[in-house]
Copies of this chain bind each other. A is one copy, B any other.
Amino acid sequence: MVVHEREPFNAEPPRTALAGLAETPVDAFYSRNHGPVPDIDPAVWRLRVDGLVEKALELSSDDLRARFDEVEVVATLQCAGNRRAGLIEVRDVPGETAWGPGATATARWSGVRLADVLTEAGAAPTAGHVAFAAPDVSRLADPPQTYGGSIPIVKALRPEVLLAWSMNGRALPRVHGGPLRVVVPGWIGARSVKWLTRITVRAQPSGNYFQATAYRMLPPEADPSKAGPGEGISLGPLALNCDILSPDDGARLCPGPAKITGYALAGDDRTVARVDVSLDAGGSWIQAEVAEAAGPWAWQHWSATLDLPVGDVQIIARAWDCTGAAMPESPAHLWNPKGYANNSWARVRVRCA
């Protein structure tokens, strides 16, 4: 793993560790944290459900397993800061981690549907949002506070949103949110709150710093140190994205036919319609073969065999979604002060000799 920070622990795998695998091994799954990883004793851990509900709940691990159906969803998570390094090449993004392509990964999650828990609690008709709280204290927040966030009730009631205790068939590791985390497929990873201890049904989005102030796309001229709650575009559903996973950026290859592979993810509840690869800066494109997804919330791997010329070669990939929308060309036009949502064309540079 490429460790960006030890405390809070932030690390991503090299891109090639993600290549070709429908499920990312747990030890290659990116870690994005805002504070120290809490150490929770599952025996004393409880989940509170409160707010705009008929009946507040307090659930132990055993309660969750006994009172609700266990379901499994294969879902790709992606950090809103994934590919920030491409934006930093345009202009610095002070104070934010220079994530490469690896702040995205796919796992088979299992647990219970958030919808089932909300139904048991009886969400009120005035419910607009569902807020998640966790005990990890972040000094990055202003003022320092525990991590939290929310999603609209419409998304919270969808069957793909889980409270998960298992990842790829094994107990959810502590660093990935054990004993229990939220998994919000199709949305930025920030909403898949780890170490979940409390669910609050509200009329309005969470007032937590990471919902109200961070994870917002500010216009280029804004000063993020002065941006108050509610400014900018609150990020939730993921935008269409893709990346090249093999060969690695900077690889040395032989000229001639080479297999280029990567992933594409439509984000939100869209589907990937096409992936193109180019060796001539987008002048012409080869359509990649796109493999079937492991489910509607999982990335799709793609591959294309291209004839690499001698010399320094830039390989470009872009995806299209089911609306016929394509990823934009250049990170220059997507740069934003916190460096979120870089979904410009994917690029790796290789040397062929």
Report which A residues bind B (CB closer than 8 A).
80, 217, 219-221, 233, 235-240, 267-268, 270, 273-274, 276, 282, 284-285, 287, 320-330, 333-334, 340-341, 343
**A94–chain B nearest beta-carbon distance, Å:** 20
A327/B328 in contact, CB under 8 A: yes
A333/B341 in contact, CB under 8 A: no
The 4 closest A-B pairs by CB, nearest first: A324-B341, A239-B325, A328-B328, A239-B323
What residues of chain B lie closer than 8 Å to A329, measured between beta carbons?
A: 328-330, 333
Q: Name A233's contact: one of B236, B274, B333 (CB within 8 Å).
A: B274
Q: Please give the count of copies of this chain that the complex contains.
A: 2
What residues of chain B lie closer than 8 Å to A273, measured between beta carbons?
A: 217, 233
Q: Look across to chain B and name the residue whose beta carbon is closest to the beta carbon of A327.
A: B328
What residues of chain B lie closer than 8 Å to A326, measured between beta carbons?
A: 328, 333-334
Secondary structure call for the A interface: loop
Instruction: Report Cα–Cα, A53/B236, bound state, in Å.
Output: 38
Instruction: Report Cα–Cα, A343/B220, bound state, in Å.
Output: 22
User: Which among A238, A274, A323, A334 has the highest number of chain B CB atoms within 10 Å?
Assistant: A323
Instruction: Report Cα–Cα, A219/B239, bound state, in Å.
Output: 22
8 additional contacts (CB under 8 A) given A323-B341, A325-B341, A325-B343? A219-B276, A233-B274, A237-B270, A237-B323, A239-B321, A239-B324, A240-B325, A326-B333
Q: Look across to chain B and name the residue whose beta carbon is closest to the beta carbon of A274.
A: B233
Instruction: Report Cα–Cα, A326/B268, bound state, in Å.
Output: 15
What residues of chain B lie closer than 8 Å to A233, measured between beta carbons?
A: 273-274, 320, 322, 324
Instruction: Report Cα–Cα, A194/B239, bound state, in Å.
Output: 33
Instruction: Report Cα–Cα, A274/B285, bound state, in Å.
Output: 31
Instruction: Report Cα–Cα, A351/B146, bound state, in Å.
Output: 55
What residues of chain B lie closer than 8 Å to A240, measured between beta carbons?
A: 323, 325
> Can you give 27 A-B contacts (C-beta < 8 A)?
A80-B324, A217-B324, A219-B276, A220-B285, A221-B284, A233-B273, A233-B274, A233-B320, A233-B322, A235-B323, A236-B322, A236-B323, A237-B270, A239-B321, A239-B323, A239-B325, A240-B323, A268-B270, A268-B323, A282-B333, A324-B340, A324-B341, A325-B341, A325-B343, A327-B328, A329-B329, A329-B333
B219/A274 in contact, CB under 8 A: yes
Instruction: Report Cα–Cα, A330/B327, bound state, in Å.
Output: 11
What residues of chain B lie closer than 8 Å to A284, measured between beta carbons?
A: 220-221
What residues of chain B lie closer than 8 Å to A267, measured between beta carbons?
A: 323
Instruction: Report Cα–Cα, A47/B276, bound state, in Å.
Output: 43
**A51–chain B nearest beta-carbon distance, Å:** 24
**A323–chain B nearest beta-carbon distance, Å:** 4
What residues of chain B lie closer than 8 Å to A237, measured between beta carbons?
A: 270, 322-323
**A83–chain B nearest beta-carbon distance, Å:** 12
Q: Name A219's contact: one of B219, B285, B341 (CB within 8 Å).
A: B285
